[in-house]
Amino acid sequence: MPTHPAFPLVCWLALALTLPRLTPLALLLVSLVGAVYLGRAVWAASRRVKWLLLTLIATFAFTLPGDPLFATAWSPTAEGLQAGALHALRLLILVWAVRLLLGRHPPLARLAGLWWLVQPLAWCGVSPNRMVVRLFLTLEETAKLTGDHAPSLSALWHALSTSLPVHPPPAPPETRHLTLQCPPLSGRDGLWMLAVMSVPVGLLGWGALWG
């Protein structure tokens, strides 16, 4: 199997590009396989985005034209409800994939893989080093506030309000070093990445030709 730290992120990207091209039946099968594979972790990951999923479904149900479900002026439509459910299922699968990615790979390995993937942004004047360092600091502060479990809104507000005093005393500058080990891309890992990305590219080309 590939050992390059960017490979799991490439797999997640390929999954995100593939899901919109799947039929509802294939999407349901993928979700069932993911739920069985992840087990109890599915419910923990789903609870964190439940309000986002409900909002997504409601937005499509009440805004997409179609056959109303009830004989009222503000009735949701069957087409909107179906489209919202499919979009919510795609988002849920991606959240499960992120949960799997976070559980299987250490943080520094994920950052090294992200650093490797964003190297082309240097051509546009964006510094990959600064991007990865800022992301690392953001994730570190988020972990301090939330811990291992998703906090309630009141607990999060309390942590935010008490973490910084009204008039913080000046702190001496602190120098920290972040070292990432990103091995060079081997031929085997490159072939694996090409094979994974060929799936969404092939589906996109097939849809452009025969869709």
Mean pLDDT value of segment 148-164:
60
Q: What was the pLDDT predicted at 41?
A: 80
**Contact yes or no for 114/135 (Cβ under 8 A):** yes
Above pLDDT 70, what percent of the chain? 79
Using one digit for the tens of pLDDT, what is the confidence trace for 165-194?
A: 555 556 666 666 777 778 888 899 999 999
Q: What was the pLDDT predicted at 130?
A: 87
Mean pLDDT of the chain, nearest integer = 83
Question: How far apart are the two ends of the chain, measured CA to CA in Å?
Answer: 34
Dihedral sign computed on CA atoms, order 129, 144, 4, 26: negative
Using one digit for the tens of pLDDT, what is the confidence trace for 5-62?
A: 899 999 999 999 999 999 999 999 999 998 888 888 888 888 888 899 999 999 999 9
Q: What was the pLDDT predicted at 209?
A: 64
Q: What was the pLDDT predicted at 136?
A: 79
Residues with Cβ within 8 Å of residue 96, at least 6 apart in sequence: 34, 35, 38, 41, 42, 45, 46
What single DSSP character describes residue 77?
A: B
Q: CA-CA distance, 91 to 86, in Å (whole number)?
A: 9
Q: What was the pLDDT predicted at 132?
A: 85
**What b/e string do you get for 67-86 counting C-beta neighbours within 10 Å, with b at 16 or more?**
eeeeeeeeebbeebbbbbbb
Predicted TM-score (pTM) of the model is 0.78
What single DSSP character describes residue 184?
A: P
Above pLDDT 90, what percent of the chain? 34
Q: 167 by DSSP, 3-state: which?
A: coil
Q: CA-CA distance, 109 to 115, in Å (whole number)?
A: 10
Q: Is the pLDDT of residue 159 over 70?
A: no
Greatest mean pLDDT range, 15-19, 135-139, 199-203, 206-210 = 15-19
Q: What was the pLDDT predicted at 55?
A: 94
